[in-house]
Amino acid sequence: MADEPSKPEAPKAAAQAQPQRQTQQDGHPQFSGFLAEIVELNETTKTGIYGEIYTVSCRILEGKDKGRIIRRNMIGPVKVGDVVRLPDTSREAREIKVK
């Protein structure tokens, strides 16, 4: 039994090939973007082929535009008071004019 060959170990390079997420000091993943709170949900102006996109007003909670209220289009179930992460605060949705 002492003369049995040992099993080859799995290569460690495969485990290191996956990209590593940057983490903060508390161990949570670090995300980019700006937090915003939904303050108004305009249900009368749905858009998209099936009406699945809502126009909402968001108050920016962090960054250089903190406190600014902007209009954005959101997909999915949203309600007033939800906190979302926006990739940028410079773009704003145009008002939808119904003909």
Q: How many domains does the chain have?
A: 1
> Tokens 């699945």 correspond to what residue?
52
Closest Cα partner for 73 from 97, 47, 99? 47
Residue 46 lies in a domain: yes
**What six digits make up the tokens of 31?**
């995300």
Residue 48 lies in a domain: yes
Q: What is the pLDDT of residues 30-88, one digit of tens each?
A: 678 899 999 999 877 777 788 888 889 999 999 888 999 999 998 888 899 999 999 88
Domain that holds residue 76: 30-86
> Tokens 């039994």 correspond to what residue?
1
pLDDT at 11 over 60: no
CATH number, position 47 = 2.40.50.140
